[in-house]
Amino acid sequence: MGFLILVLTSLLTFVLGYLRHCYNYWELQGVPQLRPHFIYGHFFKLKSLHLSELLQETYDAFKGKARLAGTYLFTRPIAVVTDLDLAKVILIKDFNKFVDRSSSASLNLQDNPLAGHLFNLHGEEWRALRTKLSPTFTSGKIKYMFSTITEVADQLQQTFDQEVGDDGAVLELHDLLGRYTIDVIGSCAFGVKCNSLKNPQAEFRVVGRKLFNNPKFNVRWALFRMTYANLFRKLPIKFKSFGQEHTKFFLRLVQDTVDLRERENIKRNDFMDLLLNLRKTGESSGLSVEQLAAQVFVFFVAGFETSSSNMSWALFELTKNQSIQAKLRDEILSVLQKHGKLTYEAMMEMTYLDQVVNETLRKYPALASLTRIPAEDYKLPSDDESNSDGHIVLERGIKVHIPVRAIHYDPEIYPEPHEFRPERFEPAATQQRHPLAFLGFGDGPRNCIGLRFGRMQVKVGLITLLAAFQFSQKGSEIPIVTNSHFVLVPKNGVKIRVDRLPADWWSDYKSRQV
């Protein structure tokens, strides 16, 4: 009995000593840190995948006092950037030293073939693929897809007409807009008619819903696996990021598309065509079916959920701010009247719409933080003003967080940050802020490759709906923000009152302006 007590006491002493050592990491590096609990660190604060609460607390505690602060994810140290100039150095100036978003251990392609996409890849693999994929996201290619998006938007309006009826209705917009963006991506990227607007149980929509509404998904468990990826790779039991059904679906989709297009010599000038051209570049540099499926997967996931959430949040804010909704509708209808119909050029003229989209992304960024990992030990450049932290060295492999949401809600950058004010993004106001004060699509060489496409499908959707419908708070419910897998989404959808605009609304509105 005495021996057992001795063993347990020794074990407890070792564990406490180990934890004490772990949680003193940043102090030993000369970096100010958010003091964790001496046993469980910040474990009970980890309520979201992107650690938004923990990052916000760290940012608030040290902003203006230090350019870099430390905190802990379980027992692992993470760095939090609190200075925009340093964020610019990491994302842009010294990007070559911060190419990767995650450690190589987290990229287990053998067990998770869908993980080998552009967002996850490291170093030279990422550079090579980004170079190959970039041509499909140029302004010219995006403009080519415009007519396809407007066709789907017409179906969106028809679906709203049916749902709203003559008396109006409270609609769950997040699901409806998710069906719209899925149909857009299916048509533009893969040449597939998803028809989820007409059929909510269409296969594409069912797959997307399961990806982001998995009741078995445990945030803390996912964080734990990501944090200790090296350990999990050595275990005999393999854990997959996505269900077997999702892997099979995308592998089957790609294989069937490849077979059909190569057999029938089909050319659609879409995302899949570009991938197939890369596949034909040679045995050594061509893409396998698994690699093709991974790119299709990330385009599908990133394209439909982020855009549908952005549109949902925008319409929610417009219900609370009727004067902004009226001003935006005024611009939309004025430009449409000028051009006679919705064209790419007409969309580009809607500058206030662009401001509304940006302000929505400020308040509801898809990612709560941007992560980068130094490829080698990195000494922070000296601060010209204080020269106080030029001695700090970020060790190779340390995860660095740039807290997007905390920056977007910084009252020194955006006064009254909880207020919805599109005028913040007028050209004059934007020029007065730091260039990295807005990170809705990231920044630097590793920013969002599909930002033009995403903005276009959001704008076309909003134009179509606001030209035909009024959105109000009567009967609406306040949505709750939650984190699901990789992006910030509304937990229970966005329920808003929708009514048809009268046929003579535009003439009545113009007469009131006289």
- On average, the pLDDT of the chain sits at 83
So what's the pLDDT on residue 3? 67
Does 448 appear as a known binding residue? Answer: yes
pLDDT, tens only, 377-408:
999 987 665 556 668 899 999 999 999 999 99
Number of domains in the chain: 1
Q: Among 89-93, 208-212, 382-386, name the most confident range.
A: 89-93
So what's the pLDDT on residue 331? 97
pLDDT, tens only, 250-287:
888 888 888 888 888 877 767 787 777 777 665 445 67
Q: Among 226-230, 430-434, 503-507, name the most confident range.
A: 430-434
So what's the pLDDT on residue 359? 98
**Residue 130 within any structural domain of the chain:** yes
**Residues contacting residue 161 through CB under 8 Å, at least 6 positions apart:** 468, 500
**Does the pLDDT of residue 233 top 80, yes or no?**
no
Q: Tell me the average pLDDT across 124-135.
A: 86
**Residue 8 within any structural domain of the chain:** no
For residues 25 and 77, the answer to whether their CB atoms sit within 8 Å is yes
**Does the pLDDT of residue 434 top 50, yes or no?**
yes
**Does the pLDDT of residue 6 top 80, yes or no?**
no
So what's the pLDDT on residue 430? 96
For the chain, what percent of residues have pLDDT higher than 70? Answer: 78
**Residue 293 within any structural domain of the chain:** yes
Axis-axis angle for helices 451-466, 146-164 (nearest 10): 40
142 three-class SS: helix
Helices (H), 321-450: 322-339, 344-349, 351-363, 404-408, 427-432
For residues 149 and 188, the answer to whether their CB atoms sit within 8 Å is yes
**Residue 3 within any structural domain of the chain:** no
Confidence of residue 425 (pLDDT cuts 50, 70, 90): very high
Residue 31: what residue type? V
- Can you tell me the distance from the alpha carbon of 60 to that of 411, in angstroms, rounded to the nearest whole number? 11
For residues 194 and 183, the answer to whether their CB atoms sit within 8 Å is yes
Q: Greater confidence, 177 or 13?
A: 177
So what's the pLDDT on residue 62? 94
So what's the pLDDT on residue 285? 54
So what's the pLDDT on residue 409? 97
So what's the pLDDT on residue 49? 42
Helix, strand, coil % in the chain, rounded to nearest 5: 55, 10, 35
Axis-axis angle for helices 451-466, 351-363 (nearest 10): 110
CATH code: domain of residue 307: 1.10.630.10
Residues spanned by the domain of 82: 20-513
- Can you tell me the distance from the alpha carbon of 252 to that of 293, in angstroms, rounded to the nearest whole number? 9
**Residue 77 within any structural domain of the chain:** yes
- Can you tell me the distance from the alpha carbon of 53 to that of 405, in angstroms, rounded to the nearest whole number? 10
Q: Tell me the average pLDDT across 26-53.
A: 68
**Residue 207 within any structural domain of the chain:** yes
**Does the pLDDT of residue 446 top 90, yes or no?**
yes
**Residue 27 within any structural domain of the chain:** yes
pLDDT, tens only, 455-511:
999 999 999 999 999 999 887 777 766 655 456 777 778 899 999 998 665 555 455
**Does the pLDDT of residue 104 top 90, yes or no?**
no
So what's the pLDDT on residue 138? 85
- Can you tell me the distance from the alpha carbon of 495 to that of 175, in angstroms, rounded to the nearest whole number? 10
Identify the H or E element spanning 315: helix 289-320
For residues 97 and 374, the answer to whether their CB atoms sit within 8 Å is yes
So what's the pLDDT on residue 514? 42
Q: Tell me the average pLDDT across 147-176.
A: 94
So what's the pLDDT on residue 284? 41
**Residue 164 within any structural domain of the chain:** yes
Q: Tell me the average pLDDT across 150-167.
A: 95
**Does the pLDDT of residue 215 top 90, yes or no?**
no
Q: How far apart are the first and last CA of the chain?
A: 93
Beta-bridge mates of residue 79: 70, 400
Q: Greater confidence, 116 or 164?
A: 164
335: tokens are 């430009």
**Residues contacting residue 361 through CB under 8 Å, at least 6 positions apart:** 310, 438, 440, 441
Q: What is the pTM of this model?
A: 0.87
